[in-house]
Structure 1
Amino acid sequence: MDVELPALGPKDVKIKVAFCGICHSDLSMINNEWGFSQYPLVAGHEVVGEIVEVGSDVSPDRMGSIVGLGWHSGYCQQCYSCDDGDHNLCASAQPTIAGRHGGFAEYVQANEKSVVELPKGIDMKSAGPMFCGGITVFNPLMQYGIKPTDKVAVIGIGGLGHLGLQFLNAWGCEVTAFTSSESKADEAKQLGAHHVINSREENEIESAANTFDFIITTVNVTLDWNLYLSTLKPKGRLHFVGATLEPLNIGVFSLISGQKQVSGSPVGSPATIAKMLDFAAIHNIKPMVEMFDMSQINEAVEHLEKGDARYRVVLQADF
């Protein structure tokens, strides 16, 4: 469809889309799984492209910059979180694909604060998923002070998990992958896992009791969370970035006795995204992507919905 974008605000930029990843969150919004989708909906929030127009208050130097845009297109810039640099926690943050049109398009507009320039060494074609999938698994490393000496685990080796393995390995940690797919075991090791545990085998999980300082779960299904809590060391943390919709069934005594923690986090702030990109460039971390032309978007969405993607799908502009 043809859409007339609103006039560019004084602090906004207009991006000509070159590439845009398809995230599972796009599917959730398309299918209104979270209950706040507005139609017609133009999804797409893993955008990479060139700034081709700037608002009156934006430095002209930003023209021509190659940038990425993720889940947020703007922030209030005046709340406690914004003042503290935690823009991703701003209660008034504007989602890129809710209340406005996203990156499955020729152009997308956003507040200049929410777009981050790609550093040298980051490939444009595969960079899009870093602005949602990548930052989602990188952000907790910054927020919770994960140490290189920590033993860590990743639950789910998919669009998020395959990036989590790479980041944690480069961070210096001893990394374990929990996966229900035996076919992914070798690939998980190539991506950075030192050990692989079959999450369908309860005895294998039990054998890892009292092992991990930090577990990050990237899945959106319900698992036996008490079983995974048993694999944490005292003061260990079970951290959620996968948006499981069912309430967590967790026994409080396992938390109390081991002083364990359960937490969750969203995407990161623009400053953290910039740090992630620098870290990824240094360590050659990138998502594994499958490319489709933008005109093949229906096939690409179906491919992702079937669970056939290994591991991220990226659309290439062919306008």
Structure 2
Amino acid sequence: MSQTQTFHGYAALEAGEKLQKWDYEPATLGRLDIEIQVTHNGLCHTDIHMRDNDWNLSSFPLIAGHEVVGKITQIGVDVTSFQIGDRVGFGWIRNSCRNCEACLRGEENVCRQGYTGLIIGHHGGFTNRLRAPADFAYKIPDALDSASAAPLLCAGITVYTPLRTYLKHPGMKVGVIGIGGLGHLAIKFASSMGAEVTAFSTSIDKEDEAKEFGAHHFRHWNTPEDLKQASGTQDLVISTSPSAIDWDKAFNLLANNGVFCLVGLPVSTLNVPLLPLVFGQKVIAGSIVGGRRFMREMLDFAAINQIKPMIETMPLSDINAAIDKVAANKARYRIVLVSEN
């Protein structure tokens, strides 16, 4: 097969525009790259942010998609870790410096030089084929089907990393704010790690599902009595909300020595109540996806414990309808786009 060919994808030609069919010539397959035939894409809210250039990081035409699963069709001449036909996935990180202390620990998500994003300056998975460095591809365990594996490559690792970092022992009380694509996976992972999990949501109709995911308690965000019962009880709170929330309410959930970790990215300013923070020895933290060490560990943990997202599949050709559904907060809880190769 020739290394130079035309790839067929769905691109936003300008910021905020609907995606349309768009063909491009890929870069030559590098010595350390692989090419995959894409079969599945998880649709992440970040793809919408990138389409709309909300963070001034996008370049157009943009083919988004950073929860990508497919089968290897070509391998670079120096790639030894994969074979043609292997089922692999790519997540948010495309490459890193490989040499700093963080990278050497397998924490490429905090690379001192700054990692390269899969869809920042490059085309992502909303296409029939994708070329990227083999070192940031991950074998999908046999116990995970491809549709379930795709959202784990971003949503899964995004919540696994702070849980793995701050959940020190079974029995810790973990609160999850926002029961959506990220939050429902946070509940599943935290419960499987032995935490006592409380789900916090503005959607009272999500209580039964939250408990099916593994939550021991459900608190309605807009019911003062619910929040009062939870005040000062949580050792770790993970906020997955993509929108600004009442930060005072959120911080009040923390027990002394508790950690409040943000993984959602609302476009807002964080106002910190200083006295409770200091006198309660509380911590405010951020967490961004995860490095290769935790990614491999997370996929194995998910396979062993059968942690799978609740998904709805749609054909890749319906990508604009899928984006509209996610933007309207009507996805329960993750949409996976299936290629029609």
Q: Which amino acid aligns with 2:266?
A: T
- The match for 1:269 is 291
**Residue 132 of structure 1: SS of its match in structure 2?**
helix
Contact between 1:216 and 1:238, CA under 8 Å: does it hold in 2?
Answer: yes
Contact between 2:161 and 2:294, CA under 8 Å: does it hold in 1?
Answer: yes
- The match for 1:46 is 67
**Residue 142 of structure 2: SS of its match in structure 1?**
coil
Contact between 1:135 and 1:267, CA under 8 Å: does it hold in 2?
Answer: yes
- The match for 2:125 is 103
**Residue 48 of structure 2: SS of its match in structure 1?**
helix
Contact between 2:166 and 2:236, CA under 8 Å: does it hold in 1?
Answer: no
Instruction: Give distance in 1, aligned partners of 2:265 and 2:168.
Output: 22
Instruction: Give distance in 2, aligned partners of 1:54 and 1:88.
Output: 25
**Residue 10 of structure 1: SS of its match in structure 2?**
coil
Runs ≥4 residues deviating over 6 A: none
Change (3 A) 1:60 1:189: closer
From 178, 185, 210, the counterpart of 1:188: 210
- The match for 1:125 is 147
Change (3 A) 1:83 1:52: same
Q: How well do the aligned residues superpose, as a CA RMSD in angstroms?
A: 1.2
**Alpha-carbon deviation of 1:80?**
2.5
Q: Which amino acid aligns with 1:309?
A: A
Cα offsets for 1:195-220 (capped at 9, x unmatched): 00000112321221221110000002
What is the identity percentage for the equivalent residue pairs of Structure 1 and Structure 2? 41
**Residue 273 of structure 1: SS of its match in structure 2?**
helix
- The match for 1:76 is 97
- The match for 1:7 is 28
TM-score by length of 1: 0.97
Change (3 A) 1:37 1:158: same
Number of corresponding residues: 319
Q: Which deviates more, 141-150 or 271-280?
A: 141-150
Instruction: Give distance in 2, aligned partners of 1:255 and 1:127.
Output: 38
Change (3 A) 1:24 1:61: closer
- The match for 1:293 is 315
From 171, 180, 190, the counterpart of 2:193: 171
**Alpha-carbon deviation of 1:226?**
2.2
- The match for 1:282 is 304
- The match for 1:23 is 44
- The match for 2:57 is 36
Cα offsets for 1:92-149 (capped at 9, x unmatched): 3111111010000011111111111011211112211000000000011222243212
Contact between 1:152 and 1:212, CA under 8 Å: does it hold in 2?
Answer: yes
Alignment of 1:231-242 (within 5 A): 231-242=253-264
Instruction: Give distance in 2, aligned partners of 1:65 and 1:164.
Output: 28
From 147, 166, 184, the counterpart of 1:144: 166
**Alpha-carbon deviation of 1:36?**
1.5
From 82, 87, 96, the counterpart of 2:108: 87
Cα offsets for 1:70-107 (capped at 9, x unmatched): 00111221223212221111233111111010000011
Q: Which deviates more, 132-141 or 200-209?
A: 200-209
- The match for 2:18 is none
Q: Which amino acid aligns with 1:89?
A: V
Q: Which amino acid aligns with 2:212?
A: Q
1:64 paired to 2:80: no
Instruction: Give distance in 1, aligned partners of 2:168 and 2:205.
Output: 29
Alignment of 1:192-211 (within 5 A): 192-211=214-233
Contact between 2:167 and 2:236, CA under 8 Å: does it hold in 1?
Answer: no
- The match for 2:331 is 309
Contact between 1:115 and 1:270, CA under 8 Å: does it hold in 2?
Answer: no
**Residue 230 of structure 2: SS of its match in structure 1?**
coil
**Residue 295 of structure 1: SS of its match in structure 2?**
helix
**Alpha-carbon deviation of 1:61?**
4.3
Mark the runs of 5 or more structure 2 residues left unpaired by the alignment: 1-21
Contact between 1:165 and 1:177, CA under 8 Å: does it hold in 2?
Answer: yes
Q: Which amino acid aligns with 1:34?
A: W
**Residue 70 of structure 2: SS of its match in structure 1?**
strand
Q: Which deviates more, 52-61 or 4-13?
A: 52-61
Q: Which amino acid aligns with 1:62?
A: Q
**Residue 94 of structure 2: SS of its match in structure 1?**
strand
**Residue 113 of structure 1: SS of its match in structure 2?**
helix
From 271, 279, 304, the counterpart of 1:249: 271
Q: Which amino acid aligns with 1:174?
A: E
Instruction: Give distance in 2, aligned partners of 1:55 and 1:75.
Output: 18
Instruction: Give distance in 1, aligned partners of 2:72 and 2:269.
Output: 42
Cα offsets for 1:275-301 (capped at 9, x unmatched): 111111111110111111111112111
TM-score by length of 2: 0.91
